[in-house]
Amino acid sequence: MKVSYFLICPALIFFLFHNICSSQTKEIDSLYNLMEAANDTTKVNLKRRLGGLLRSKDKEKAVEMVTSGIELAKKINYPKGEIESLFSLGIIHGMTGSYPESLEIFKQCLALSKEHKNYEYIYKSYNSFGIIYKQIGDYPTSKDYYLKCIKLVDSLNLTIDITATYTNLGILYDLMDEPGNAKKQYTKALEIYEGPNRESLENIVISNLAVLDIKEKKYTDALEKFLKSKQYQESKNENLKLSMTYSNIAQCYMKLNKMKLAEEYFIKSLELSIQLSNKTQIAVSYYGLAELMLQQNKYPEAIDYSKKNLDAVNKTGGFKYYIEAHELAHEIYNTTRQYPDAIFHLKQSMAYRDSLLNETKIKEIQNLQIQHDVYLKDREIKENELELELLGTYVDLNQKRLGYLSVIAILLMFSASLLYFRYRSKQKSNAVLREKNALISEQKEVIQEINVELEKRMLRAQMNPHFIFNSLSSIQHLINSDDRKGALTYLSKFSKLLRQVLETSINTSLPLKDEIELLKIYIELEALRFDNSFTYNFKVDENLDIHTYEVPMLLVQPYIENAIIHGLMPKEGKKELNVSFHDTEENIVCSIEDNGVGLASKSKESTYERPSRGMSITAKRIEALKKFSNQELVSIESSEDGTKVTILIPKD
């Protein structure tokens, strides 16, 4: 009771008591509701989370929930979920004291993590082994697993924070009465920590190092560390830790014979502990004040504080606290020669010491039993491994037997094939003829495909010169009109268009995206040519994947050209051109609408007497496309409001 400890494990200490409060109950209900509509992968994660929430309330239900998650993860081949669920199941058994079962589950988790190279859970499994073996008193094995954690992270340069492992090692060395090694581990934890709460970790480590200094009777060093820790805790309002630190500072001052300061800090600790209703620390403070008064020969105050200490201990319980409280009371009453009271408290301390001894023995026996159970489990695993090796030997023998039988079967089949050879030779000539006929048919199909492809290339080769000729005519028109700026702008855009045409000249088709870009540039050129006398608009369906589908190059351009020259140019007033692409199940649909003079008027009023070379070529290209479709690919609707051309471009 003389020193308050700060020995902690910041990560993976799962052997602490966890309360399931009302908020957890609400979360449990919420998770059950989510599971009804969740897919299998999400169900595995929800079952693991539910198991974690249920473990302090109903272990059997928690185990059942997580186990069903493990089975589901195996069924859907979800190794990550299986690993995480095994780890959660190991924690459930560990928190409830079922250490052999916990170790068995963690071994499965470790094996699966190694198989799938999940280094995070290899690390967590090693760390969990260290914690369990520490709990059952097998400190050497615990240390081995902690060192495995460090070796794993260092050898593979993993980005896992191993501060917790070094802190656990520090705690372990302290339990093994190796303060020097404990200090090294705490210091190492500080050196490697790169997280956001470094100042908090430093405070905890400093407090732990100060406790070790007290054990070594280095009270000045301990006091210096506790005072530094006090400043941090006061700045962060960490009153629970602060009440313990005040008490520790008082202990150091008392050991250094600075009684006034010791009393001041004991009272600070007492007042803060009462404010926080921290019954254990209240008892510690009263104990310290009683001991302080005894050392100063202030016997009435010592007796008063001793009685208050005993009352506080009765509220907290614990054999250790009872023993210390009654031993101090015995010392006070014995010094003041109040022998009946001294004898009473001596008997009480002895009785509690016997009880503590019995409890310790029971715990040691339980730990030995657990270690024995773990040993039996390990032996059972080794026996199973030997059985598997024997089974493997039997399998090898059977495989050899199968090999011999296979050789015999092959020889028999070879003999049968010799007898069958004459029969096959008679049919061979017929088979050769059939193969030649099939080959001729295949070659005929290939030749037809080549013809189709050549026809496409021929039509495209006719299309491009026509397009280029029209563009050069437009540039010549601008130059003749003395519109040099317009001619330069037109020439710039035309060169860009020509470059794109040349870049795609290898293929007879190109992605729809590139075709749309070519059409946009072409319309811009025509708009420049005709002094922007018409407006135009492009619309592409959002559901149409313009990057995936390919279309014949410049298939649509002649229809746009026809709409501009024969539809819009003869018209007076506002001129509009709308080009749209949208998606259907079998085709890409291109619509070209103009509000021009219409087909009837075009035939009368158009001044362009020569037949459209581009349209005749395009008609042939459309006919070529009909080989891949049974429907009419081009439809033209004309009215007084203009003309609409709809072109169906097959996707295949």
- DSSP assignment string, 19-42: ---HHHHHHHHHHHHHHHH--HHH
Residue 361: pLDDT band (50, 70, 90) is: very low
Task: State yes or no: pLDDT of 325 exceeds 80.
Answer: yes
- Mean pLDDT within 49-68: 86
Same domain, 103 and 147: no
Residue 9 lies in a domain: no
Interval 414-436: pLDDT, tens: 778 777 777 777 777 777 777 77
Instruction: Give the C-alpha distances (Å, rounded to integers) separating 421 from 223, 229, 424, 426, 427.
Output: 102, 96, 5, 9, 10
Which of the four pLDDT bands, split at 50, 70 and 90, describes residue 318?
A: low
Instruction: Tell me how far CA of residue 401 lies from CA of 158, 389, 390, 405, 409, in angstroms.
Output: 48, 19, 17, 6, 12
In this structure, the answer to whether residues 104 and 128 fall within a common structural domain is: no
Closest among 139, 94, 128, 148 to 11, alpha carbons compared: 128
Report helix, strand or coil for 369. helix
SS in 3 state form for 264-320? HHHHHHHHHHHHHCCHHHHHHHHHHHHHHHHHCCCHHHHHHHHHHHHHHHHHHCCHH
Domain for residue 424, yes or no? no
394 domain-assigned = no
Neighbours of 418 (CB within 10 A): 8
pLDDT band at 20 (very low <50, low <70, confident <90, very high): very low
pLDDT at 358: 52
Tens digits of residue pLDDT in 487-517: 787 788 778 777 766 666 566 678 889 889 8
| Residue that finishes a domain, picked among 157, 175, 195 | 195
> Is 80 exceeded by the pLDDT of residue 9?
no
Q: Is residue 60 part of a domain?
A: yes
Average the pLDDT over each of 27-41, 108-122, 424-438 and give the range with the smallest value.
424-438
Element (H, E) at 644: strand 642-650
What are φ and ψ of residue 59, in 5° steps? Answer: -60, -45
Mean pLDDT computed over 114-142: 89
**Count of CA atoms in the C-beta half-sphere (13 A) of 200:** 11
User: Which class for 380: exposed (0-12), middle (13-18), buried (19 or more C-beta within 10 A)?
Assistant: exposed
Sign of CA dihedral 399, 402, 408, 411: negative
Q: Which of 195, 212, 244 is the last residue of a domain?
A: 195
Domain match, 94 and 140 both = no
Let me know if residue 301 belongs to a domain: no
Number of C-alpha atoms within 13 angstroms, CB side, residue 59?
11
567 in a domain, yes or no? Answer: no
Domain-located, residue 642: no
pLDDT at 481: 77
Alpha-carbon torsion (50, 56, 58, 60), positive or negative: positive
Please give, one letter per residue, the 3-state secondary structure of 215-242.
HCCCHHHHHHHHHHHHHHHHHHCCHHHH
pLDDT band at 116 (very low <50, low <70, confident <90, very high): very high
Pair of tokens at residue 29:
């209900």
Tell whether the model's pLDDT for residue 227 goes beyond 70. Answer: yes
Other C-beta atoms within 10 Å of 338: how many? Answer: 15
Does the predicted model carry a pTM greater than 0.75?
no
Which residue among 87, 108, 129 closes a domain? 108
pLDDT tens track for 595-620: 988 765 544 444 444 445 567 777 77
Indicate whether 98 and 48 sit together in one domain.
Answer: yes
Nearest Cα residue to 203 out of 221, 220, 228:
228
Place of tokens 């870049």: 503
**588-601 average pLDDT score:** 84
Same domain, 43 and 72: yes
Mean pLDDT of 57-73: 90
Read off the pLDDT band of 362 (50, 70, 90): very low
Closest C-alpha among 374, 367, 291 to residue 335: 291
pLDDT tens by residue, 329-358: 999 999 999 989 889 988 888 887 766 555
Query: Which residues are CB-contacts of 529 (< 8 A; sequence separation ≥ 6)?
Result: 474, 477, 478, 490
Of 469, 626, 499, 448, the residue nearest 561 (C-alpha):
469
| pLDDT recorded at residue 507 | 64
The predicted model gives 456-484 an average pLDDT of 66
Residue 453 pLDDT > 70: no
Task: Give the tokens for residue 470.
Answer: 């029209």
Whether 126 and 186 map to the same domain: the answer is yes
Neighbours of 13 (CB within 10 A): 14
Number of domains in the chain: 2
Same domain, 97 and 137: no
129 and 62 both lie in a single domain:
no
- Which has the higher per-residue pLDDT, 277 or 19? 277
pLDDT at 581: 94
- At a CB cut-off of 8 Å and minimum separation 6, what does 240 contact? 276, 278
Residues 94 and 151 in one domain: no
Predicted pLDDT at 320: 74
Give the pair of three-digit tokens for residue 511: 């992605």
46, 35 Cβ separation under 8 angstroms: yes
Averaged pLDDT of the chain: 80
Comparing CA positions, the residue from 542, 523, 544 lying closest to residue 534 is: 523
As a whole number of angstroms, the longest Cα–Cα distance in the chain is: 138
Amino acid at 541: D
Q: Which two tokens stand for residue 407?
A: 């050789």
Share of the chain above pLDDT 70, in %: 80
Residue-wise pLDDT for 163-192, tens only, equals 888 888 888 888 888 888 988 888 888 788
Residues 133 and 183 in one domain: yes
Domain that holds residue 148: 118-195
- Side-chain-side CA neighbours of 302 within 13 Å: the count stands at 18
3 state SS of 427 = helix
The answer to whether residue 50 is domain-embedded is yes
Answer yes or no: are the C-beta atoms of 628 and 650 closer than 8 Å: yes
Report, as an integer, the average pLDDT of 277-285. 87
Q: Do residues 123 and 177 both lie within one domain?
A: yes
Structure tokens belonging to residue 76: 């859907």
Of how many residues is the chain composed? 652
pLDDT band at 16 (very low <50, low <70, confident <90, very high): very low
**What does the pLDDT read at residue 7?**
37
Same domain, 153 and 184: yes
Q: Is 616 helix (H, G, I), strand (E, B) or coil?
A: helix
Strands 642-650 and 587-594: antiparallel
Give the CATH number of the domain where residue 156 resides: 1.25.40.10
pLDDT over threshold 90, residue 301: yes
